[in-house]
Amino acid sequence: MKISKYYRFVPMILGLVLVGYFYGYKYIYKNNDHFFKNKIKTKIIKVMNYENKSLQFYYSNEYCITTTNTRGDTLKVGDSISKEHDTKNFDVYRVKNGNYTFFKSYNINK
């Protein structure tokens, strides 16, 4: 058994490791860190559903709230979120009869 025939898999494995690292840093760590550290008062502008495995609720073009709970009550486009800095808790306000009213409190695990 020659080891040299396995060298062709090294670039593929290295590529997968690098893609996994950058995805983990940019889309998971950086996003969660921004959400946790900042005070946020904004609206949900876009919802992405990834094959019913996770939902991403974008509150800016770069940052989102990600959840794996794809059933039950979730956020909707137009919902207003309010969160203090250095906390995982945030409140959601939803339009009812033309006014925003409190809908639910959420806690996102960091």
| Tens digit of each residue's pLDDT (9 = 90 or more) over 14-61 | 898 888 887 777 777 888 888 899 999 999 999 988 777 778 889 999
Give dist(CA 81, CA 45) in Å, integer: 11
Do the beta carbons of residue 25 and residue 19 sit within 8 Å? no
Q: Residue 3: pLDDT band by 50, 70, 90 thresholds?
A: low
Burial of 66 (0-12, 13-18, 19+ CB in 10 A): middle
With pLDDT > 90 as the criterion, what percentage of the chain qualifies?
35
Which is nearest to 108 in space by CA: 74, 77, 79?
A: 74
Residue 55's pLDDT is 84
Phi then psi for residue 43, to 5 deg, are: -115, 155
Is pTM beyond 0.85 here?
no
Upper half-sphere CA count for residue 74 (Cβ side, 13 Å): 21
